[in-house]
Chain A
Amino acid sequence: MNLAIVLNVVIQGVLTGLMYGLMALGLSVIFGVVRVVNFAHGEFAVVAMYATYLLFVGLGLDPLISLLPIALAFFAIGYFLQITLVNRFVGRSEHEQFILLVGLAIIIVNGLLMIFGPDARPTNLPYSLDSFEIGPLFIDTARVYSAVAALLVSAALFAFFRYTTTGTAIRACADNLTGAGVVGLNVKRLYAVTFGIGLACVGAAGSLMVTIADASPSLAQSFTLLAFTIVIIGGLGSMTGALVGGVLIGVSEAMASFFFAPSMKSMFSFALLVAVLVLRPQGLMGRRA
């Protein structure tokens, strides 16, 4: 076994994992603050993939550019969705929230099937076959760009929560909801902003995802499951945990595909999930409940 090949696989896994991490970050932020699990998360990622595909085919926009308008549009969609729909379900029992969001997921997937049909739509970037050669390593150019973009978006998000007043107010809501009411924070609006941010993350991640997968409605469910697995591994509500979990799952998938078979990658992801649940139920970076 050649060490360089293994290293190639690991690097590819890390790069993919950063995109996964960004997607999971969206789920984590929504759950951590609004306390609703977005079971339509992967579905939104696929909508973003189609939007990126259309912008590429129609206007020739590179995914790295269309990421920005798509993230903005997804923010607006998330804000609107929270205000109109999800907010009525905040604080209600989990199965009711589950049904609402699963219902939304079904509508999205079948909507996509009606519009685009079941066939996968590839986004053939001019540089999709290029790679950086560093000694014995061959690293996909598109994947490097996407991973860097995912890191930048994540960093922007961290900065938003750390340094802006709105970000601090959102953390305050997550910290102590009664306290938020006491000081007169507009919790409904902050929840809407949070859901918007969560969807902006998944929108950006979906845009980047076209560099590694072809847009297809059938991806949606596995993406939701993937994001959920990552968030549980990283620790519910922990933002760094989502990124770390994403990288971990990315590497695990790449290794499993390489050493065993691509169809076995989920098995290893779930084995990781079970291991984390047994050994550290609060997740790698999660706080003990």
Chain B
Amino acid sequence: MLRVENLDVFYGDAQALDGVSIEIEEGAIVAIVGANGAGKTSLIRTIAGMHKPTRGHVYFRGLDIAGWPSHRVCDLGIGQVAEGRQVFPTLSVAENLEMGAMLPRARAERAKNLERIYAMFPVLIERRQQAAGTLSGGEQQMLAIGRCLMGSPDLVMFDEPSLGLAPTIVQSVLQTVRDLNREGLTCVLVEQNVAVSLKLASHAYVLENGRITLAGSGEALLGDDRVRQAYLGM
């Protein structure tokens, strides 16, 4: 579904990604694991069209979308639940959700998507008219996921969805990812919570200093000594 080939990304002189290649199959949950600054967010944002790669290709359903602007990438069905949630703080919850449905592909399904999201996160109905900035971290994460789903995506990249959330809420966010995947959504999961994300994932990549250093099934990586040492502290 999505194939990244030899992606190089620079910020000025600093190289964030160095020849990164990954493949994401339709219907999978693919985990990307790595330390802070390894390039996980850079990879996601480059796929999403928020950074231009210096070299390399991003194929989505056969189309090379490397360097496309983000609004066109999103309209192909590539959604993103961004690091730090990135809700619009002064806009109401309802307006935030509406912004997710601005894409041409999503306009017709707006009402249906909204109903589905309110059913998934009932707390958002209560908070409909409230400014998003006044929500708790967990509620903001639900809003960020809901806003992304308003765009009717086929593939969603979750960037640290559990960062800064209370443990019980982390569980429910990850459960949401699993549920969405069962309903047919292809998911890319970037998680600091390495053990959990490897358990969820059918396939996983380890990113170190902008390079992919390991790849395999989630289970295989979970059993790999290097992963256990570096990320699981075992």
Contact = CB atoms under 8 A, between A and B. Distances in A.
Given A171-B91, A175-B91, A182 B86 contact: yes
Given A181-B70, A183-B147, A176 B50 contact: no
Interface centre among A168, A178, A183, A186 (most CB of B within 10 A): A183
Interface in A167-186: 168-169, 171-172, 175-176, 178-186
B48 interface: yes
B70 A175 contact: no
Contact of A186 (B71, B82, B87, B96): B71
Contact of A183 (B69, B72, B89, B148): B148
Interface in B56-110: 69-75, 80, 82, 84, 86-91, 95-96, 98-100, 102-103
Contact of A175 (B50, B89, B100, B103): B89
Nearest to A178: B86
Interface residues of B, number: 29
A178 B41 CA distance: 13
Contacts of B100: 183
A175 B88 CA distance: 6
B151 interface: yes
Interface string B42-63: 0000001110000000000000
Contacts, number: 68
Nearest to B87: A179
Nearest to B75: A184
A2 interface: no
A165 interface: yes
Contacts of A168: 91, 95, 98-99
B122 to A, nearest CB: 22
Nearest to A162: B95
B88 A184 contact: no
A6 B176 CA distance: 67
A175 B49 CA distance: 20
Contacts of B103: 184
A179 B95 CA distance: 13
B137 to A, nearest CB: 16
Nearest to B81: A182
B127 to A, nearest CB: 17
Nearest to B89: A175
Contact of B102 (A169, A175, A178, A188): A169
Given A171-B91, A176-B87, A176-B88, A184 B82 contact: no
A179 B73 contact: no
Nearest to A189: B71
Q: Which of A169, A171, A181, A184 has the most CB of B within 10 A?
A: A184
A185 B99 contact: yes
Closest 8 CB pairs of A and B: A184-B74, A179-B86, A175-B88, A186-B71, A182-B82, A184-B71, A172-B88, A181-B70
Interface of A: 165, 168-169, 171-172, 175-176, 178-188
18 contacts: A168-B91, A172-B91, A172-B95, A172-B99, A175-B90, A176-B88, A176-B89, A178-B50, A179-B82, A182-B48, A182-B50, A182-B80, A182-B82, A183-B74, A183-B99, A184-B103, A186-B69, A187-B71
